[in-house]
A and B are shown apart, each in its own frame.
Chain A
Amino acid sequence: MKYLCLAYYDLDKFKALTPTDMQALGAQCKTHDEALRASGKASAHASLSMPDQWKTIRPRGGKPMVSDGPFSEAKELVGSFFLIDADSIDEAVRIASLHPAAQVGEALGWGLDVRPCDMFVA
């Protein structure tokens, strides 16, 4: 079964990060990224652009209406996503926990959603 993992972050906190802190964060992440990769269960990693480049589409009067994103007003934004191939949500959570957003970046509003895909077509 496939699980979509969405990694969240707080853009304002990210902006305020100094280059030195960023460098340290990058080094920390690397270990966790490698652990996740080594599991062989994660695929399709992506980093997303800043939300001012996102578009949101909603149906209005039977037509798609496009506006500037993001869809949700929440302060926490999806910054990246990846897929996990696992047999159960418990296994998926175990694997997703290897991801940096589950391990570091507490002060940056990092965190993960693990969402089971009821249907998945590649």
Chain B
Amino acid sequence: MTTPMNHPSTAAIHRSIEAVWRIESAKIIGALARMLRDVGLAEEMAQDALVTAMEKWPESGVPDNPAAWLMTAAKHRALDWLRRGEMLDRTHEALGHETDLHHHVASAELSDAVDAAIDADWAAKRGEEEVADNLLRLIFTACHPVLSSEARVALTLRLLGGLSTDEIARAFLLPEATIAQRIVRAKRTLSEARVPFEVPRGVELAERMASVLAVVYLIYNEGYAATAGDDWMRPALCEEALRLGRILAELAPQEPEVHGLVGLMEIQASRARARVGPQGQPILLLDQNRARWDQLLIRRGLAALERAAALGALGPYGLQAAIAACHARATTAAETDWVRIAALYDALAQLNPSPVVELNRAVAVSMAYGPAAGLEVVDTLLVEPSLKAYHLLPSVRGDFLAKLGRLAEAEAEFRRAAAMTRNQRELDLLLERADSCARLVVPPLAP
């Protein structure tokens, strides 16, 4: 060992500061925003405390309770600002070095630091309830409808996730300047619109909660659907969304859809290892090796779903979680309870009518009741303008027709679908199916 135990390297100290920051920054920003009534300013002051820590701790050592230290340092600055409307000594104007957390997100170091950070002491002393309340206010503010959807996502990752601008940019495959500008504008918009730092009440709550959940799910899907770029940051978005969802479930335990969304994300995440083949090719749900599904995530997902169901009728997220749960419970694809899935899609279509949901329902109906029943549903969608260029419609229809032995029609549908897709693997697959239909079609008799 070149570094004695009592003198950890600067890099090691920076890593532990970053880990603490990732867990604690939202609480600090939340508390400051409560004092200052401005999330932009709150974030700036919290960052300022972080920069001081980065400078001092390598020399002075990490304090016993780093989270409490950061909070106190930030509070000192906030009080100065409240008194004078300015910070007394802005030595960190540009905040040159933003935190860079990527190598540590899932590391053991993180969990050590988390243990240290969640020193029961400080949460208890400073009023756990107020901490939770501030976090909730912060989430609702970051997801405020006055902001564009992209701005909500970026600001949520920044304020709640403790991610740097660079990390967010990499996750969304965008230039850092784009994200930086998005965040600056979002903070300005909140400030100019005088968005109050509070949790909405009454009728507004449901609508605003839907916006929060939509942001979390958007973050999740951005990571889950990641097909471009091999940056680790994209899948990390899934973890981030899950973390946000779990926090939200603790903060708003009475909201069924929060648990529904958490359940949906947990179960979807359980298939992460099984959904991509060794060459990176996507593997469809029914073809996945179920032994590779993460049973812990499934258990957590099912538990979240149960909590949602215990609170009343399932909402759109709860229903999607319930559908995912049907797959998760089936040990083999053949054991899938398609009757139940078809019923759940039916409920979902009534709650949230959409052509895509209807198409999914058609598939479930065909699995439960046969291809003719599925075809009946799918045929109602042929006039749907929003599905005109959606390759899955002819692809699904072709599948039903093929199963019904109407091979010439099936072939035509597969070729139509092939012409619509931009994905090479999908194109190959569709043409292969069209060809196999063609081979089996009895050529019409010559006159």
Where the two chains meet, the residues of A that have a C-beta atom closer than 8 Å to any C-beta of B are: 11, 14-20, 22-23, 25-27, 29-30, 33, 45-47, 49-50, 52-53, 68, 100
Contacts and interface: CB of A to CB of B under 8 A. Distances in A.
Contacts of A52: 60, 63, 69
A49 B79 CA distance: 12
Interface stretch (B81-89, B207-215, B219-227, B269-277): B81-89
Given A22-B79, A23-B35, A14 B60 contact: no
16 contacts: A15-B72, A15-B125, A15-B126, A18-B130, A19-B35, A22-B78, A22-B79, A22-B82, A23-B37, A23-B82, A25-B79, A30-B84, A47-B88, A52-B60, A53-B60, A100-B83
A19 B82 contact: no
Given A25-B79, A26-B79, A29-B82, A20 B130 contact: yes
Given A16-B126, A52-B63, A26 B134 contact: no
A26 B82 contact: yes
A16 B134 contact: no
Contacts of B139: none
B308 to A, nearest CB: 32
B415 interface: no
Interface size class of B (residues with CB under 8 A): 20 to 34
B403 interface: no
Contacts of B83: 26, 29-30, 33, 100
Contact of A50 (B37, B73, B81, B88): B73
Given A18-B127, A23-B37, 7 more contacts: A16-B126, A26-B81, A26-B82, A27-B82, A29-B79, A47-B80, A49-B73
A50 B34 contact: no
B126 A14 contact: no
Nearest to B55: A53
Interface string B147-166: 00000000000000000000
A22 B75 contact: yes
Contacts of B32: 19
B68 interface: yes
A8 to B, nearest CB: 14
